[in-house]
Amino acid sequence: MNSIEVHDLTKQFGAFTAVNHISFEVREGEIFGFLGANGAGKTTAIKMMSGLLQPTSGTAIIAGYDVRTQSKLIKRNIGYMSQRFSLYNDLTVFENMQLFGTIYKIPRKELKERIHTSLKELDMDQHANTLVEAIPLGWKQKLAFATAILHRPKIVFLDEPTSGVDPIVRREFWKLIYDTASTGVTILVTTHYMDEAEYCNRISIMAEGELKLIGTPDELKKKMAATTINDVFVKFVRR
C-alpha cells in the first residue's frame, strides 16, 4: 500500500517555479531519500506534502488524504522535523514534549508514559528537566525526532535532520529512523550526506524543481555506472 502518492505536484512563487510537476509514490514503511543541491526544491516539496504550503497544481495523497482539502487530517497523521531546530529553547525537554503531545491530543496519562519511554530510549531521561538550550545539538536533533513521532504518526517528514551533527550522533540518528520504519512508519528524509542516502530503501534526486532520478541505491548506481551514491550524484551533476 502506498502512503504517499504525488502526481504532477507544482509550486510557483510568482514567476519562479520551485517544484515542477513531480510525481512519485512511497510505500508504507519505506525509507525514502530526497537528494538534491540547495535550492533544488526539496523543502518546498515537503512543505506541500505536510500541508504547510498549498500546491499551485497537481495532487498529493498523504496517508490517504488529499493535501488540498484534508490538510487537517494530514497534519494529525504526520510528524515533521524542519531544517532548522524548532523546539522551544526556553522550555525544558519534558515541557516541549508535553506541549506538542498535548496539541496532538494524547491523553494526559498516556502522554506521560510515552515521554518517559521515549526519553529512556534516547538515554536522556535524566535530562527531562533541562532547558533545551543547554543540551548539545546532536541531542536536540534526536529530541526533535522523538517529539515528532510522539503521537505515532503514519508518515514522518525529516528535512535535513542531520545537518551539522557529528558522525556518531548521525549513526545513532539513523538507527532511530530504522527502528521507527520497522514499526510500519513511512519516512521521507532529505539529506546532503551521500553516505546517508545508501541507508534509504529508495532515493530520488531533485534538481531545478524537477525529479531527475528515482530508484533504489543499487539501481541508480547501475544506471549511472557508479560505485557509490556519491559518484552517482557527481556524475549526475556533471551530465
Partner 1 sequence: MRTILILIKKEFLQVFRNPLLIGILTVAPMVQFIIFPFCADYEIKVLHIAFIDNDHSTISQDLTHTFNASGYFISHGLVKNKKEAEKMMKHDKIDILVEFPHDFERSLYNNEPTQIAITANAINTMKAGIGTGYVQNIIGDYLNDFAQNNRPPQAPTKVSINISNVYWYNEQMNYKNLIVPGILVILVTLIGCYVTALNLVREKEIGTIEQVNVTPIRRWQFLLGKMIPFWILGISEFIIGLVIMKLVFGITVQGSIPMLLGCTAIYLLVMLGLGFFISSIADNQLQAMFIVLFLFIVFVLLSGLFTPTEGMPEWAHKINYLNPMSFFMNVIKKVVLKGTEVESLRTEFIVLSVMAVVINTGAVVSYKESSK
Q: Which residues bind partner 1 (CB under 8 A)?
A: 50-54, 72, 75-76, 78, 80, 82, 84-91, 95, 98-100, 102-105, 108, 131
Whose Cβ is closer to partner 1: residue 91's or residue 214's?
91
Rounded least distance, CB 114 to partner 1, Å: 15
CA 166/CA 228 separation, integer angstroms = 21
3-state secondary structure the chain: CEEEEEEEEEEEECCEEEEEEEEEEEECCCEEEEEECCCCCHHHHHHHHCCCCCCCEEEEEECCEECCCCHHHHHHHEEEECCCCCCCCCCEHHHHHHHHHHHCCCCHHHHHHHHHHHHHHCCCHHHCCCEHHHCCHHHHHHHHHHHHCCCCCCEEEEECCCCCCCHHHHHHHHHHHHHHHHCCCEEEEECCCHHHHCCCCEEEEEECCEEEEEECHHHHHHHHCCCCHHHHHHHHHHC
In the complex with partner 1, the residue whose CB is nearer, 1 or 103, is 103
The smaller minimum CB distance to partner 1, of residues 3 and 98, is found at 98
* Shortest Å, Cβ 113 to partner 1: 17
Residue matched to cell numbers 550524484: 233
Q: For the CB of residue 207, give the shortest distance to partner 1 in the complex, in Å.
A: 25
Smaller CB separation from partner 1, 148 or 205: 148
Q: How far is the CB of 16 from partner 1 (least distance, A)?
A: 16
Residue number, 20 or 77, with CB nearest to partner 1: 77
Helix axes 137-148, 93-103, angle to 10 degrees: 20
Please report how close the Cβ of residue 38 comes to partner 1 at its closest, in angstroms: 17
Chain centroid, CA 147 distance in Å: 13
Give the nearer residue to partner 1 in terms of CB position, either 62 or 197. Answer: 62
Minimum CB–partner distance for residue 97 and partner 1 (Å): 11
